[in-house]
Structure 1
Amino acid sequence: MRIRPTAVVLALALATLAGCGDDAEPTSSGTETGRQQASRSSNNVPTEETQEGVAPAPSTVTSAPGLASSGPGQVTVPVYFVGSTPQGKRLFREFQRVSGDDPLLAAADAMTAGDALDPDYGTLFPGGSFASVTEEPGAIVVEVADDGWSTRAAGMSRREARLAAQQLVYTVQGVAQSRLPVRVEAGGEPVPLFGIDTAGGLRNAGPDGVLAFVNVTTPEQGATVGSPLVASGVANSFEANVPWEIRDGSGAVVKRGFTTAEGWGNKLYPWRTKINVSKLPAGDYTFVAMTDDPSGGEGGGPTEDSKDVTIG
């Protein structure tokens, strides 16, 4: 596990715009809610119901006055990576500290390299980096270093190509805190990205088509935490129920509960909870947040996002 300095949480995100081609909307069936799931105790695992206040919804663009400072010459930026979900590959957001000299390019570099703190995340970009990323009147302009990304890489499907384009769009729009269209250029002229025409500017697809249905913002991967453990993130989960678990090094569940997101059904909504971990022995654990699964696994199972932490 690679551990890096703790990032500062930002209230960023992106509003729903045009959907992404052949991505299906999620469906749910059954009647059991996350509260009912969380209340079933097995092996004497403690259960807990918590509902705390939440930060402004990161699925809407806000008038935040700029990126948070993370130290001398640094800012904290959102970077979108790719991870596995029951719906296939989706985007997960991770906040990272980068140089404040050129945060747009630094975030794009982390994205293309797949340089995520969480080992469950990766990238669809097959190596390489962009030459520059600049915010200009009416667009965010991304300059490619060569024509290596003009066509799909070997083994890349059309859906993966569209998701890779969205990985770029969500990242640079998140850093710029703007929904400006993204143009990919070479020598000042528009060029395709993995076979996708970018001349008219790439726009962010609807979150339900490209984002994972649950994403943990805090605790961060590799963090050392005390009691209460404060967890937060975003989710689109059945009836807004967000079950969570704490697992020990063997994978056994030592504590479980649920919290409630601000909404559900059409986008990702913020959730937040505080968990009393004072009775857990100090050591390494994994915090897992998930979507409610009223189908009992028949629909592919819940989406999960996990973070390895140390309880001190």
Structure 2
Amino acid sequence: MRTTPRPVRTLAALAVGVLLTTSACGGDDSATDPVAADRSESPTAAESPSEPAPSDVPSEEPAAAGAVPVYYVGDTGVGPRLFREFRRVSGEPALGAAEMAASGEPADPDYRSLFPGGGGFDTVDHSGGTIAVTLSDETWVERPSGMADAEAELALQALVHTVQGALQSRDPVTVTSPAGATTLFGVETSDGVDNADPFDVLNLVSITAPEQGASVSGTFTASGVASSFEATVPWEVRDGSDAVVARGFATAEGWMDALYPWETEVDVSDLAPGTYTFIAMTDDPSGGEGNPPMFDTKEITVS
């Protein structure tokens, strides 16, 4: 995610929502973006036609295999934050999601993983009020050279939000290596790590639909989660020259204490076929004197 709307790019050759094997995947959110995601839902059957995605709201039952929330990192005007994508994995959902968060390629090229290459996860076990993640080796036990403390903490939070979202549980997360170490990038987890305050780690607006690279026509439904002033979520559609060709706003179900769902209808029937960028953002009542607005953007094709 960028702090200002980006120019429309050539669509990357990414297969959004393609079935991925557990060995190739890796990462969620249980409070709307895990902490905020407690009030959000996964994509509907219409958005994910091959298989309905599990709810992102915590429950006592683990999510079935299919679309799971995966947390990646993106840049904002207040520093790196976590952004959520719903991705499909095969096998055990929490393990596949964790692998996707660590080593999978985000569908949105604005996102990235803070996990360096070379490591991996062996198991994710949810029992006794704890989500226990086992590393496949010792690679990620210590903080690697060049990784700042804040990056290590955010990488751990990406893992926490992801496995909590896949399991639909807010139970704390521990990480253990085969040799018995209980740190991830030097951050101790033996007492269990909770999901952090969403206002400290999450981007405050997120687009669930349309997905990156989606094809739309006529009028489409845009949705996501946000915490924006007075629950107002402005949106824009921009063309290849970055000119605004449509705009409006959605009203979220709440604001201030969490990220809440928002939904709106976007009319693109007057637009010429081509590639555009759909942008959702937080409202800025200060006129630029406070923190910069946060954005989420998705490239779409109007047919």
Instruction: Calculate the TM-score normalised by the size of structure 1.
Output: 0.79
1:126-205 → structure 2 map (5 Å cutoff): 126-127=116-117, 128-187=119-178, 189-205=180-196
1:277 equivalent to 2:277? Answer no
Task: Give the deviation of 1:15 after TM superposition.
Answer: 7.9
Larger deviation: 167-176 or 125-134? 125-134
Asked if the contact 1:183–1:190 (Cα under 8 Å) also holds between the matched residues in 2, the reply is: no
User: Which amino acid in the other structure matches residue 248 of structure 2?
Assistant: G
Distance 1:200 1:150 in 2: 16
**What do you get for the CA RMSD once the two structures are aligned?**
2.6
> Secondary structure at the residue paired with 1:170?
helix
1:95 equivalent to 2:86? Answer yes
Which of 14, 21, 29 does residue 3 from structure 1 map onto?
Answer: 14
Question: What CA deviation, in whole Å up to 9, does each residue of 1:113-170 have, x standing for no partner?
Answer: 1511000000111123212222233221111122222222222222211111100000
Question: What CA deviation, in whole Å up to 9, does each residue of 1:266-296 have, x standing for no partner?
Answer: 2111100011111111111110000111222
User: Which amino acid in the other structure matches residue 81 of structure 2?
Assistant: R
Matched residue, 2:244: 253
Sequence identity of aligned pairs in percent?
51
Matched residue, 1:120: 110
**Residue ranges of structure 1 left out of the alignment (5+ in a row):** 19-54, 69-73
Asked if the contact 1:16–1:267 (Cα under 8 Å) also holds between the matched residues in 2, the reply is: no
> Secondary structure at the residue paired with 1:289?
strand
Question: What CA deviation, in whole Å up to 9, does each residue of 1:83-132 have, x standing for no partner?
Answer: 01111100001000111x22222111111115110000001111232122
1:1-312 → structure 2 map (5 Å cutoff): 1-6=12-17, 13-14=30-31, 57-58=39-40, 61-63=57-59, 67=63, 75-99=66-90, 101-127=91-117, 128-187=119-178, 189-312=180-303
User: Which amino acid in the other structure matches residue 14 of structure 1?
Assistant: A
Matched residue, 2:51: none
Instruction: Calculate the TM-score normalised by the size of structure 2.
Output: 0.81
> Secondary structure at the residue paired with 1:174?
helix
User: Which amino acid in the other structure matches residue 3 of structure 1?
Assistant: L
> Secondary structure at the residue paired with 2:39?
coil
Counterparts in 2 of 1:123 and 1:109: CA distance versus 1, 3 Å: same
**Number of residue-to-residue matches in the alignment:** 268
Asked if the contact 2:29–2:71 (Cα under 8 Å) also holds between the matched residues in 1, the reply is: no
User: Which amino acid in the other structure matches residue 13 of structure 1?
Assistant: S
Asked if the contact 2:74–2:110 (Cα under 8 Å) also holds between the matched residues in 1, the reply is: yes
User: Which amino acid in the other structure matches residue 306 of structure 1?
Assistant: T
Distance 2:94 2:80 in 1: 24
Computing the radius of gyration over CA atoms, which structure comes out larger, 1 or 2? 1
